[in-house]
Amino acid sequence: MMFNKQNMACFFLVLFSLKSYAKEDFNLISQCTDEYETSCNVVLTVNGKKNILLRHIKSPNIEKVSEDIFHVVSSCGSPCVGHYFIGKHEEDYTEELISFDIKSKCIIESDSRKKKIYAKKMFTNKRKILIDLSDKKFNILPSKFNYYSDFSEMSKFDNAGELNLIANDYGEILFKKKIQNPCGSNSK
């Protein structure tokens, strides 16, 4: 084969395009001991290195929510559901997830023992109180031990990053509030 200018240009174009598509290896998988998923390990692979992040969890559901973050949901007993947010070098966890916005990396969670709803930036421990559920107006909520279940079904972030915090009981709206930028600025 003869290398003329046109062939050389094609060769370098192919060579450089291969290099630009070689992205960093980042994946998350579950490895279970049985078909019922009663005991599973969640394995993170970054640049060819495998690391077991979670051991012996039940029925993990893994979803890639952005280029660099996975959301893992697993059962931790009724009514408990564990939510893990896993990045290449960081992770976050909550049992009482209400909603999250991946663009702003904002997590909305409750703490039923403290009767609070918090907003926090993903991968930080800095929480900001959004709602104090010990206020008398929240006595209408049916759940007293797991407040997140009253809010998680209908509460969502809109396209502008505003939180629509909604408590409901079998479709009946009990409380509704729109909260702009609940986690504050977009910086971590």
Tens of pLDDT along the chain (188 residues) come to: 455 555 444 444 333 333 323 356 899 999 999 999 999 999 999 999 999 999 999 999 999 999 999 999 998 776 678 999 999 999 999 999 999 999 999 999 999 999 999 999 999 989 999 999 999 999 999 877 889 999 999 999 999 999 999 999 988 999 999 999 999 865 44
Q: Is 51 exposed, middle or buried (0-12, 13-18, 19+ CB in 10 A)?
A: exposed
What is the pLDDT, as a whole number, of residue 24? 63
What is the pLDDT, as a whole number, of residue 146? 86
Q: What is the pTM of this model?
A: 0.82
Q: Are 38 and 44 in contact (CB under 8 A)?
A: no
What is the pLDDT, as a whole number, of residue 8? 45
Give the chain's end-to-end CA distance (angstroms, integer): 54
CA atoms of 91 and 112, how far apart (whole Å): 22
CA atoms of 60 and 81, how far apart (whole Å): 10
What is the pLDDT, as a whole number, of residue 14? 36
Which pair of structure tokens corresponds to residue 83? 């939510």
What is the pLDDT, as a whole number, of residue 33? 94
Beta-carbon contacts of 52 under 8 Å, excluding residues fewer than 6 positions away, are 41, 42, 43, 44
- C-alpha distances in angstroms, 25 versus 67, 68, 87? 11, 11, 12
Residue 26 one-letter amino acid: F
DSSP string, 93-123: EESSEEEEETTTTEEEEEETTTTEEEEEETT
What is the pLDDT, as a whole number, of residue 6? 53
CA angle 153, 159, 165 (to 5 degrees): 35
- C-alpha distances in angstroms, 168 versus 95, 108, 155? 19, 16, 9
Place of tokens 């598509």: 21
